[in-house]
Structure 1
Amino acid sequence: MSNAEFDRHAASYKTLHKNNISISGEEPAYFSDYKMRDFKALLPDLDLPSNGRYLDFGSGIGSSIIPFQMHIPDARLVCADVSLESLRCSKESHGNSVDYALIIENKLPFDDAEFDGAFACCVFHHIPHEHHKKVLSELSRVLKPGGLLMVYEHNPFNPLTVHAVRTCPFDENAVLLTARKLIESSNTTGLKHYRTDYRVFFPATFANLRPLEEKLRWLPLGAQYFVAFLA
C-alpha cells in the first residue's frame, strides 16, 4: 500500500480494523497490547534500558502508543510512518506524548545508532518484498549495537488470518510473508536473527485456554508471529 492509500484510510482505520477482526471476538486494543507486552519482556533479557529511546516503524494512527506507554512508561517513543495523514490523526489523539517523523522513499530521517530498539507491527506485508532488505538495512542503521528489532506479522499459514487479510479494505494490496522469508531478507543487513515466536492461537470464545499459548510459541499456526533481530 502506498502512502496515498494509507492517507485515504487513516480517518476510518479504527472502524475498518475493528470490523475486520470481529471474528476474533476481540477489540483492536487486545492485539496492540500483547505486542507491547512481548516487546517489554525482551528488554531485560537483552540489557536494554526501560528509559531508552524506541522507534515505532509504520506507526499508522498510533495504535501502539497507549500500550507502549503503559508497559514501558519511562521510555521515549518515536512514531514514524509514510502517511502524513496517519501521523496527523495520531497526533490529534495522543498529542505530544511521543515524537513523530515522516518516512520518505524508505529513508528513515534519523542518525545512525539513534535507538535502543524498534518494532514494526504488521507493516512489512504492505511493503513490496523486493524492498524488505533495504528497509531492514535502514532499521539496522538507526539501532544501537545490540539494539532490538521486533517485526510482527500475520501468519500466512493460519486460514482465519488469510481470510481477514483478503477481506480487509486497507490490505487490498498486501502480500503476506512467512517468518522464514523475513529472516532470509535480513541477510547482509547487519541484523542477526534472535528468535521467532508464534502468537494468538485462541479467539475470545476460548480465552480460558490462552494460558496455553505460552507453551505454543514454537507452533507455526498462530494468527500472528514475531521475528526478533539484534543489531
Structure 2
Amino acid sequence: MHHVLPPQWESFVAEAYRVMVPGGLMLVFEVNPYNPLMQYVAKTYEIDKDAVLLPPAKLRRMFTAAGFTEVFTQAIISVPPTGRFLTRMDSLLGNLPFGAQ
C-alpha cells in the first residue's frame, strides 16, 4: 500500500472490502515504518522514491472504517520464518515494531 498515493488510501481499502468475497481474508504485507533499515531502503531505493510508509495504527483504522473485522497488525522478522527459532521469535515479538514487514 505504500505505493498507493495517500489521498487514495481510504478508497483503495474500501474497494478491496467491496470486492472481497464475504468471509474472505485480506493480508497486507507493508514495510515497517519504525524499522530504521526499512526507512533507509524507502528513502534510497528508486522503486520506493514515491513511497509513503504507513504506521500500523493508521492501517488498522482504515481497514476497520471500511468494514473489515478482526483487524490486527503484527511485525514479521523473517519471511517466511524458517525454522522453529524464527517462527517463535515472530510469535513473541510480533506486537513490537522490530520486523521489516
Q: TM-score range by the shorter chain?
A: 0.7 to 0.9
5+ long unaligned stretches in structure 2: none
User: For 1:144-183, what aligned pairs fall within 5 Å after superposition?
Assistant: 144-183=21-60
Tell me, yes or no, if the aligned pair for 2:60 and 2:71 is still in contact at 8 Å: no
User: For 1:1-231, what aligned pairs fall within 5 Å after superposition?
Assistant: 124-200=1-77, 210-211=86-87, 212-224=89-101
For residues 161 and 199 of structure 1, what CA distance do their matches in structure 2 show? Answer: 13
Q: Percent identity?
A: 33
Structure 1: 4+ residue segments shifted above 4 A: none
Tell me, yes or no, if the aligned pair for 2:63 and 2:71 is still in contact at 8 Å: no
1:85-133 Cα distance to aligned partner (Å, 9 max, x none): xxxxxxxxxxxxxxxxxxxxxxxxxxxxxxxxxxxxxxx1111122111
Change in CA separation of 1:151 and 1:208 when aligned onto 2, cut-off 3 Å: closer
Structure number with the higher strand fraction is: 1
> Number of matched residues?
96
For residues 84 and 67 of structure 2, what CA distance do their matches in structure 1 show? Answer: 41
Max radius of gyration: which structure? Answer: 1
Change in CA separation of 1:208 and 1:144 when aligned onto 2, cut-off 3 Å: closer
Write the letter of the residue equivalent to 2:95: W
Tell me, yes or no, if the aligned pair for 1:183 and 1:193 is still in contact at 8 Å: no
Query: 2:75 is paired with a residue of what secondary structure?
Result: strand
Quote how far apart the aligned CAs of 1:160 are: 0.7
For residues 126 and 189 of structure 1, what CA distance do their matches in structure 2 show? Answer: 19
Tell me, yes or no, if the aligned pair for 1:125 and 1:176 is still in contact at 8 Å: yes
For residues 173 and 145 of structure 1, what CA distance do their matches in structure 2 show? Answer: 33
5+ long unaligned stretches in structure 1: 1-123, 202-206, 225-231
